[in-house]
Amino acid sequence: MRQNLLEIKDLHVMYRTDDDQIYALNGVNLKVELGKTLGLVGETGAGKTTTALSIMRLLPDRVGFIQRGEIYLAGQNLLKLSEGEMRLLRGNEISMIFQDPMTSLNPIHTVGKQIAEVLELHNPELKKGMIEAKVDELMEMVGIPADRKGEYPHQFSGGMKQRIVIAMALACNPKLLLADEPTTALDVTIQAQVLKMMNKLKEKLKTSMILITHDLGVVAQICDAVAIMYAGEIIEMGTVEDIFNNQQHHPYTVALFGSIPDMTQKTDRLNPIAGLMPDPASLPPGCRFAERCPHCLEICRTTSPRVVSKQSHQIKCHLFTGAEGLRDQDQKTRI
């Protein structure tokens, strides 16, 4: 049987601001198998970061609340743990690369010192000399000459800071790595280097990963599974083959793929998905994508669709909730 390292069930998260209640996650179901990488994609505001912060139990104090749901790491419900127990897991079993690198960097210490600290914490048996050698190795692996380890974060470019944070996260040898848009500030050559490092970690230590990204090219390259998120729900999920090769998809997934600028084609204007995601403070009844959906049916505006699945492929859309359901994978007609 396949083993799930992480399993999220019916997760609801709300942010309370001065005058609004923002429903950021509305029943998220997700699982990550041992040693596999799940790509979590979706528009800005979909709830990707909120999902990761919930797993870390690092939602902003007195603002973000987990209202309902369960999060299991290797069978243990994280939501039942005390803050002290959680602190032991963070940085050990679970490690997160934050969207903003300065969340994890201390401006008053050199980057070399900060990487060394992480290494010491996780490898108490290592001698000082070994630690220094490992710091050099990690820096070179993310493409920064090791002779710059004596510099402070402000002396590095945006992308270089991000790479240092990646080096620190990988130094922890975590069981679960949550990477929140780790390569958005990087050019493709450095990105390739970083993705390769992450793959090595996966092979060597069977690390499971959630890779939050808006780059479907990156997903195609290194993910095993994909979950597509919209307005706080997973609207489609499956293996990379399901998402990239199958013919049937949630209309939002189709729109998302359609908005990628095509490098091989000459176009003057790009094709953003028309319309906006619904305001998370007042979500519509029914399907959240209905407003923008080219295939919207009457039922879509009133009733939230159930999840229809075929093997590993799941879609939450009324187009497939009829008796027919999802077709077999080898049929090649487009929706």
Ligand X SMILES: Nc1ncnc2c1ncn2[C@@H]1O[C@H](COP(=O)(O)OP(=O)(O)OP(=O)(O)O)[C@@H](O)[C@H]1O
User: Which residue stretch of 32-40, 113-121, 184-192, 293-301 sits at the interface with other proteins (rule: CB under 8 A)?
Assistant: 184-192
Sign of the C-alpha dihedral computed for residues 96, 102, 107 and 113 taken in this order: positive
Distance CA 249, CA 316 (A): 9
- Pick 94 or 256: Cβ nearer other proteins: 256
- Determine if 49 is a binding residue for Mg ion (CB under 5 A): yes
For 114, phi then psi, to 5°, come to -70, -40
User: Which residue stretch of 32-40, 113-121, 159-167, 201-209 sits at the interface with other proteins (rule: CB under 8 A)?
Assistant: 159-167
Of 243, 242, 239, residue with least CA distance to 256: 243
Interface residue with other proteins among 34, 59, 81, 185 (CB under 8 A) is 185
Residue nearest to ligand X (CB): 159
Distance CA 5, CA 331 (A): 33
- Determine if 51 is a binding residue for Mg ion (CB under 5 A): no
Site string for Mg ion, 276-315 (x = CB under 5 A): ----------------------------------------
Distance CA 97, CA 167 (A): 10
Q: Which two tokens stand for residue 82?
A: 């005390």
Half-sphere exposure in the Cβ direction for 172 (13 Å, CA): 22
Distance CA 183, CA 190 (A): 9
Q: Cα–Cα–Cα angle for 250, 252, 255, nearest 5°?
A: 120
- Pick 152 or 244: Cβ nearer Mg ion: 152
Q: How far is the CB of 12 from other proteins (least distance, A)?
A: 21
| Footprint on this chain of other proteins (rule: CB under 8 A) | 17, 42-45, 100, 140, 143-145, 147-148, 150-151, 155-160, 162-163, 181, 184-193, 195-196, 199, 214-222, 240-241, 244-245, 255-257, 259-261, 263, 267-273, 277
| Footprint on this chain of Mg ion (rule: CB under 5 A) | 49, 157-158
